[in-house]
Amino acid sequence: MAATIKYLPSTSKNEGILATFANGRLKGGTDNIRFGYYRGKDEADPKKSMKRTLVAETDTMEYIGQNLDIQAPRTGRMCKYLVGILDKDSGKMKVMDAQLFHMRPRFDKDETDAPDKAEDKELSFMEKNDLLTKAFGSNKKRKAMDSRIRNQIKGEALEVAVGAAVDHTLSLPTAAQVTSVPKIVDDSPSGIPPFDKDASKPEDVYKLDDIISPAEMEALHHVVKPLMNATKEQIAQWKKDEVYPGYVLQHLSVLPIQEAARSKKARLLLYTSYLIKTYMLRAPDLKRKDILPQDIPETVRRALLDKYTLKATSSDGRKTVRCMPARLKDKVVSYMLVLGLIIDEFNLELTALQKDIKMGQARIIQHSRSLGCKVTSQKATIGLQKIEQKFAVLETPLTFPDLKQRTTKKRT
């Protein structure tokens, strides 16, 4: 017998139902689910008469879906669905229109059940208004209501998060609980290295031992060979891979020929790269187990952290806090610039260092002047571009900016 298909127009009695569940496939299929299907009865209002609601209930969960709900899939409004029922014995198939429902878990059973008058009186005006909007409001009003509720939930979650953060901060060790804090002595209010104001020569103003200790210089001796023997190809590859800062790479191609002088300058350049890495540390980096790279010698790594960061241990020994306040960041810059002055024979071009530490020109000039340097300008051409280079020049007698005079000028 040939198969035949018969289309049944949609009526209140001939209506197919398709359902998808938001949380995926249900365990055990649909055998243990009880379904209920409801239609709108208000024939005077076409919109309400078209409203359909499908509910499903298992032993542990309830689901609900509506064809005109704000969270119903848009495809259900723009597509037409058909369901075919095949009679295998006769070979005939009945095809009827179907509604697609997106079933969502229902968690607010107690709140949405019909409340009695006593419970209804406990609802606020806004809550009553939301119930009316949910039942009779337009799509636009229901979208606005859902958006407001979501924002309110996010605000409450934010308050909880902020409260937890405040509690955590209050739980950190106070000054009275701190048992060990390394003593950090700044040699001046701005954290610049010790200097001889009465020096007659630039090389006598700052001592290298105050920037890099003899122990650190000795430790650098064992790791500086790659820089000393770097070829042009290696320097180009390091520049491409950003292994070393631009300031260091600029100087590697012009190292002295004499072995001792070459080794010393290479070590100063290597230490400069460590200072740049220390300056570029951020708060998340300070929380890591290895704050600085492991390829830095242990003696140097420990000295950098002790000199340029603060470490506090709680009385119970469980919490360790390490940070780098702004004054210690300024100190790193000051020591870095002094080391650059020594490397460049007290005539330091600032552009490369400025780019390496991502600092504005005005600020690095201010740091240079606080070291007693004079800042000069010189026009240069790089490729087809003309630029104005800034140089920090250390000359004797030293001249420092007059802070009182500068403050008075700003106020006037």
Distance CA 16, CA 81 (A): 9
> What is the rounded average pLDDT of the residues 329-347?
93
Each residue of 276-311: pLDDT tens digit? 999 999 888 888 888 898 889 999 999 999 899 887
Q: Backbone dihedral region of 242: left (phi > 0), alpha (psi from -120 to 50 degrees) or beta?
A: left
Distance CA 375, CA 14 (A): 90
Give pLDDT, residue 183.
39
Q: How far is CA 80 from CA 4, 54, 123, 379, in A?
A: 22, 18, 40, 74
Q: Which of 18-22, 314-318, 393-397 has the highest mean pLDDT?
A: 393-397
Percent of the chain with pLDDT over 70: 75
Confidence of residue 189 (pLDDT cuts 50, 70, 90): very low
> What is the rounded average pLDDT of the residues 133-162?
73
Burial class (CB in 10 A: 0-12, 13-18, 19+), 97: middle
Structure tokens at 73: 């899939």
Q: Are 308 and 300 in contact (CB under 8 A)?
A: no
Which of 333, 300, 306 has the alpha carbon at shortest distance from 191? Answer: 333
Give the domain ranges of the chain: 4-106, 202-345
- Residue 64, φ and ψ in degrees, nearest 5: -145, 145
Q: What's the whole-model pTM score?
A: 0.53
Give pLDDT, residue 278.
92
- Residue 75, φ and ψ in degrees, nearest 5: -65, -30
313 or 266, higher pLDDT = 266
> What is the rounded average pLDDT of the residues 154-166?
55
Confidence of residue 211 (pLDDT cuts 50, 70, 90): very high
Which of 367, 167, 352, 219 has the alpha carbon at shortest distance from 276? Answer: 352
Q: Are 309 and 283 in contact (CB under 8 A)?
A: no
Mean pLDDT (the chain, rounded): 78
Distance CA 304, CA 335 (A): 11
Contacts of residue 136, defined as CB under 8 A and 6 or more positions apart, other chains included, come to none
pLDDT at 256 exceeding the cut of 80: yes
Q: What Rg value do the Cα atoms of the chain yield, rounded?
A: 38
Residue 293, CB half-sphere, CA atoms under 13 Å: how many? 11
